Structure 1
Amino acid sequence: MKVVVAGSGAREHAITWKVSQSELVSELISAPGNPGMAAQSRVEAYDPLGIQAFAAWAHKEMADLVIVGSDDPIAAGLVDACEAVGVRAFGPSAAAARIEASKVFAKDLLSQHGIPTGPYKVFDQASAAHRYLDAPGRDYPVVVKADGLARGKGAIVSADSTEAHAAVAAMLEERAFGGAGDRILIEECLVGPEASVFAICDGEQARPFGAARDYKRIFDGDRGPNTGGMGAYSPTNLVPPAVLEDVRQRILQPTIEGLAAAGHPYRGVLYAGLMFTADGPQVIEFNARLGDPEAQVLLPLLKSDFVEIALAALEGRLAAVPIEWHDGAACGVALASAGYPDAVRDGELVSGLDSLGDDALLFHAGTALEADGAIRTAGGRVFTVVGLGPTLATARDVAYRNVERVRFEGRYYRGDIAAREITAAAAT
């Protein structure tokens, strides 16, 4: 079968890498792709945000399956557009993907179905939000969130009244996130460790699809501004099998049933960002796709055929296919350009790409191929280097050893990915 992977980031490179291993696939295309994806697929310069043109092209290509990797095309309706022209697409409809595209929609759904999450209030007027923050006895910290998609940067943890008022002003008055901030939520700040838990869904049931921990802040020690993600690892001791089953029963399955009851059956990957509080796991947010960088550490551990799983989800026979995992662990470290996550410096020459060990994987993101074959930087996050090993400590060592082999001017990466979990495990 002919498969198209829609997207160009490290997540989509990881998907392409995994799909290329499927015995069901005879031809693989990535669009718009990146230089790394060219090793596993034919790269075509079609933008998945031009949803009608992309769907028409996929139909002309006689694609049997389109796998949509990132949030913007899903929210814009690429899955719907593909299906309208007779091309199967793995991912939720735009209506079902509102669980990510609108935090208000997601929180209302959670509240309606008794799914654990923190208290919240919704505002579309700055004056009302400021009055709420000034109410006597208001507890801090709070989290101020833009309702819409903000590339992972639309949630501001505010330690006190001053920070919260500034966040409200930035979103509702200064329009820092454009239309994504037309409405905001002010939430109680939950306390506890975070993890990302994934499920494959076929419209009726949610099957667990692994768990990972990621690092959103730019600097070591979880300091600095939020980013799209500076690294991740899987599995995590925070989500052992018994906890994963509890999350399935109390959070994932009720969410899928709630969406189906609302007339929006969810088919694709559901990503639950969870806080593990003293009262148990609670939902911070949902995403309507695999995470980036979580995909880069989950997919190398997946033993089963990802294409077979995707087809089963689309055909409503998810219970019949195996979802099996390799033993061991994966640790991924993102390499970023100077200035990320703000203004970044592009065009830096990359070296060392042919020096990685066999126990490491390199997924491209912000890269460009020159006419002479050179690779240069072309974005904020440039690569994810993934180390594999029988233990998390080994995987981490492999990742950082290979990180040092990939060079470009202004390169930045966090040095503490997975360190805390390894230290905690050694102390027990």
Structure 2
Amino acid sequence: MNILIIGSGGRESAFAWKIAQSNQISQLYIAPGNAGTGQYGQNVPLEVTDFDGIADFVLQNDIDMVLVGPEEPLVKGIHDFFLDRDDLKNIPVIGPQQKGAQLEGSKDFAKQFMVRHGIPTASSQSFDKATLAEGLAYLETQKLPIVLKADGLAAGKGVLICTTLEEAKAELQAMLAEGKFGEASSKVVIEEYLSGIELSVFVLTDGDSYKVLPSAKDYKRIGEGDTGLNTGGMGSVSPVPFADDEFLNEVEQRIIMPTINGLKEDGIPYKGFIFIGLMNVEGKPYVIEYNVRMGDPETESVLPRIESDLVDLLQGIAQGNLVDRSFTLSPKTAATVVLVSGGYPEAYESGKTISNTENVKDSIVFHAGTREENGVVNTAGGRVLAVTALKDTLFDALQQATADAGRIYFEGKYFRKDIGFDLI
């Protein structure tokens, strides 16, 4: 098979690493990829939303399947684009059509979906510029802290937790009346604050049957002890120790099955990954958000624990017979530590030479924000590399990944040395 992966981050690097292991692969392409994905396949200089360019490449290179990594092309309808063209409609796209992608593309859509299908989530109401006054009045009736969410995609920055009524009112005004997050905050979901421990569960589905992938927990804050600014993710672990069989069974019964059945009831075809962001509130799972793709850096911890052939599973999605495909997981624990550029998540420098990755022997180094220029690998993003270790215990995995993160060098390098230690 010839497979094209769309994307350029650590998630796509992990997909390329895993897919390259399949004996079903003839040629693997990654568009646009990064300096690390080139060791698993061929990078293609195409933007993830250049649908026409992607279509031309797919037809010219006999691509048999397209795996979409990031959310933007899904929300913008890349799957529908393929289905609408006679010359592309028979090439499977792994990732939902535009309607299903609204689970991530619109927080309001996702909330209405959950309420309609009895899926446990925080209570909420949505407001737009025309109903700003009602939104301000609604805030006065709610407990603090309170959560404000931009309805649309805001590059992970559209969620605010407000601790005072004054702050909440000012932020709602900024989002709706002043366009704080642009078009993404033309509608805002005001949501009850849930107190508990976060984790993520991932599901692979052909729209009918599904496989529950390993649970994972990621660490968003830049500073050790979960302090400082939010980031795209500073590390992750899988499995999550507190997510035992009883808890995960409840997640499956109360959340996963109603989600899959709800999509069918609503006539929404769905082929791909569902990322379910959860809050464990006193042992009960509540949905914080849906994403319509795998998370990053959770993918870097989840995929190394899947022992099955990922290409075989993806073919099960494409052919609608996922239920018949073999699915086995490693009992080992994966820990991922992310190396970032100095200054991240605010202004940071790029173009710093990366060295010593060849001396990492007991972990996998996934590239994220990297670029190869004249044979030299340089930094080209905020999150640069993800180092993943797979070991028998959480402690050993964390120790290995952290030690190997320390072996790599580039100017301004920073990583958290406490990833996962709150779980030991």
TM-score calculated relative to the size of structure 2 = 0.96
273, 297, 301: which one aligns with 2:301: 297
Moved over 4 A (4+): none
Partner of 1:412: 414
What CA RMSD, in Å, does the superposition of the two structures yield over aligned residues? 1.3
- CA deviations on 1:240-296 (whole Å, 9 max, x unpaired) are 233222211210111111112212121111010000112610000000011000000
329, 335, 338: which one aligns with 1:331: 335
135, 139, 163: which one aligns with 1:129: 135
Which structure 2 residues correspond to residues 15-414 of structure 1 after superposition, within 5 A? 15-83=15-83, 84=85, 85-86=88-89, 87-125=91-129, 126-135=132-141, 138-278=142-282, 280-357=284-361, 359-371=362-374, 373-414=375-416
- Counterpart check, 1:10 vs 2:10: yes
| Residues 247 and 283 in structure 2, CA contact (< 8 A), matched pair in contact too | no
In the aligned structure 1, how far is the partner of 2:32 from the partner of 2:289?
Answer: 28
In the aligned structure 2, how far is the partner of 1:143 from the partner of 1:279?
Answer: 22
- CA deviations on 1:226-248 (whole Å, 9 max, x unpaired) are 21111100011222233222211
1:361: how far off? 0.6
| Residues 8 and 32 in structure 2, CA contact (< 8 A), matched pair in contact too | yes
In the aligned structure 1, how far is the partner of 2:346 from the partner of 2:228?
Answer: 12
| Residues 247 and 284 in structure 2, CA contact (< 8 A), matched pair in contact too | no
> Counterpart of 1:47 in 2: which secondary structure?
coil
Equivalenced residue count is: 418
In the aligned structure 2, how far is the partner of 1:226 from the partner of 1:130?
Answer: 26
In the aligned structure 2, how far is the partner of 1:4 from the partner of 1:245?
Answer: 34
| Residues 350 and 407 in structure 1, CA contact (< 8 A), matched pair in contact too | yes
Q: Which runs of 5+ in 1 are unaligned?
A: 423-428
| Residues 204 and 265 in structure 1, CA contact (< 8 A), matched pair in contact too | no
Give the letter for the 2:417 counterpart. Answer: G
> Counterpart of 2:262 in 1: which secondary structure?
helix
Give the letter for the 2:325 counterpart. Answer: V
1:129: how far off? 2.3
TM-score calculated relative to the size of structure 1 = 0.95
In the aligned structure 2, how far is the partner of 1:419 from the partner of 1:362?
Answer: 21
Of the structure 1 ranges 219-228 and 279-288, higher mean CA displacement relative to structure 2 is found in 219-228
| Residues 210 and 323 in structure 2, CA contact (< 8 A), matched pair in contact too | no
In the aligned structure 2, how far is the partner of 1:116 from the partner of 1:408?
Answer: 44
> Counterpart of 2:316 in 1: which secondary structure?
helix
Task: Give the fraction of aligned pairs with identical amino acids, expressed as a percent.
Answer: 40
In the aligned structure 2, how far is the partner of 1:383 from the partner of 1:363?
Answer: 6
| Residues 58 and 82 in structure 1, CA contact (< 8 A), matched pair in contact too | no
Alignment CA distance shift 1:88-1:182 (3 Å): same
In the aligned structure 1, how far is the partner of 2:240 from the partner of 2:252?
Answer: 16
> Counterpart of 1:404 in 2: which secondary structure?
helix
> Counterpart of 1:256 in 2: which secondary structure?
helix
In the aligned structure 1, how far is the partner of 2:188 from the partner of 2:113?
Answer: 16
| Residues 197 and 209 in structure 1, CA contact (< 8 A), matched pair in contact too | yes
| Residues 52 and 81 in structure 1, CA contact (< 8 A), matched pair in contact too | no
Of the structure 1 ranges 187-196 and 118-127, higher mean CA displacement relative to structure 2 is found in 118-127
Q: Which runs of 5+ in 2 are unaligned?
A: none
